[in-house]
């Protein structure tokens, strides 16, 4: 069914409106768009005519957007940004496409980055852009095709692929462990137990897995795993680290495991994506690759 033209304004009309809304005047918008002030005024007036209602109030020579225009402008800005991004991606990579991925910092640096060459080698036309996010976000408001999420399959309005369950290893600096021998879980009660904000029950789960009563952690609190790991390397206490992060530090001799191997951490890593982007070819390729890459870990 064809859409009424009044509800499908041209990009030039929307760009003029967005520029005036952003800069605060037709003169500034004209400079921004390399147009004359009169041209910008005509474009905005044409858009108002198509929509059938004013976008700005004229007050003492100033254009003041109506409350409805401000709300409309937020959607227009997102739409123009999406068009610009798609055009840039097509011009830069017309044969493959770009995958914009939000990743958890430690997962991206320690697990994904070392494996990405395999994906890129198998998909030479695809470009992957990475940005870090610690918390979930609204896909409609952020320019991402997918994200790596920790927790459960509860991201609203998104598709989910289970990657693997998190396994945590208690570890500390070898010199710290030598100075503070640990023969049983109870020995940790006198030591600083480093904590991370996103895993408030991690130590309780670790003690339960060891068949021991929980000890209230009395150590520093961190918001990311990277500084938590470095604090453990510096001998500031005992840390619970994801297996993929701890393994490299242990192999390098910077950390030593405390009382055995990993325990289940109580959450999983997921690849999530907006349902509207499910069939985007770079995402479909990445999803299939991630499923195969993590199959042995599930």
Res 90: pLDDT: 67
What backbone torsions phi and psi does residue 267 show, to the nearest 5 degrees? -155, 175
- Residues 54 and 109 placed together within one structural domain of the fold: no
- Residues 215 and 225 placed together within one structural domain of the fold: yes
- Residues 46 and 119 placed together within one structural domain of the fold: no
Write the CATH number for 114.
3.40.190.10
Which of 92, 120, 143 terminates a domain? The answer is: 92
- Residues 50 and 61 placed together within one structural domain of the fold: yes
Per run of 10 residues, the mean pLDDT along the chain (length 298 residues) is 68 93 92 94 93 89 89 90 75 71 96 96 92 92 93 94 97 98 94 95 94 90 96 98 96 96 92 93 96 94
Res 85: pLDDT: 74
Res 94: pLDDT: 52
Residues in contact with 107: Cβ distance below 8 Å, sequence separation at least 6, in sequence order: 148, 150, 242, 244, 269
- Residues 36 and 10 placed together within one structural domain of the fold: yes
- Residues 13 and 67 placed together within one structural domain of the fold: yes
**What's the structural domain count of the chain?**
3
Res 91: pLDDT: 67
The domain of 78 spans 5-92
Res 83: pLDDT: 82
Which of 43, 76, 92 terminates a domain? The answer is: 92
- Residues 284 and 150 placed together within one structural domain of the fold: yes
Res 81: pLDDT: 85
- Residues 26 and 78 placed together within one structural domain of the fold: yes
Please give, one letter per residue, the 3-state secondary structure of the chain: CCCCHHHCCCHHHHHHHHHHHHHCCHHHHHHHHCCCHHHHHHHHHHHHHHHCCCCEEEECCEEEECHHHHHHHHHHHHHHHHHHHHHHHHHHCCCCEEEEEEECHHHHHHHHHHHHHHHHHHCCCEEEEEEECCCCCCCCCCCCCEEEEEECCCCCCEEEEEEEEEEEEEEECHHHHHHCCCCCHHHHHHCCECEECCCCCHHHHHHHHCCCCCCCCCCCEECCHHHHHHHHHCCCCEEEEEHHHHHHHHHCCCCEECCCCCEEEEEEEEEEEEHHHCCCHHHHHHHHHHHHHCHHHC
- Residues 169 and 258 placed together within one structural domain of the fold: yes
Res 6: pLDDT: 61
- Residues 239 and 112 placed together within one structural domain of the fold: no
- Residues 241 and 212 placed together within one structural domain of the fold: yes
- Residues 135 and 278 placed together within one structural domain of the fold: yes
Res 96: pLDDT: 62
């Amino acid at each position: 069914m064809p859409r009424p033209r009044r509800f499908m304004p041209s990009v030039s009309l929307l760009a003029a409106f967005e520029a005036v809304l952003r800069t605060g005047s037709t003169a500034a918008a004209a400079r921004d768009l390399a147009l004359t002030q009169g041209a910008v005024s005509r474009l905005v007036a044409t858009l108002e005519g198509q929509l059938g209602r004013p976008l700005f109030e004229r007050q003492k020579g100033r254009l003041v957007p109506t409350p409805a225009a401000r709300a409309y402008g937020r959607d227009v800005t997102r739409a123009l940004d999406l068009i610009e991004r798609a055009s840039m991606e097509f011009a830069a990579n017309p044969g493959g496409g770009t995958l914009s991925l939000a990743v958890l910092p430690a997962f991206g640096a320690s697990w994904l980055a070392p494996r990405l060459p395999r994906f890129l080698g198998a998909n030479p036309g695809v470009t992957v852009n990475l940005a870090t996010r610690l918390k979930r976000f609204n896909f409609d408001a952020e320019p991402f095709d997918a994200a790596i999420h920790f927790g459960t399959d509860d991201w609203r309005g998104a598709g989910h692929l289970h990657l693997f369950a998190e396994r945590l290893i208690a570890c500390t600096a070898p010199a710290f462990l030598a100075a503070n021998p640990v023969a049983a879980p109870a020995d940790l009660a006198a030591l600083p137990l480093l904590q991370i904000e996103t895993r408030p029950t991690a130590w309780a789960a670790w003690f339960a897995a060891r068949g021991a009563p929980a000890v209230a952690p009395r150590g520093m609190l961190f918001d990311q795993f990277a500084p938590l790991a470095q604090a453990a390397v510096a001998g500031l206490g005992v840390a619970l680290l994801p297996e993929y992060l701890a393994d490299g530090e242990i192999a390098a001799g910077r950390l030593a495991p405390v009382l055995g191997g990993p325990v289940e951490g109580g959450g999983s890593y997921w690849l999530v994506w907006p349902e509207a982007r499910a069939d985007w070819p770079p995402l479909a390729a990445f999803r299939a690759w991630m499923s195969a890459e993590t199959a042995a870990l599930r």
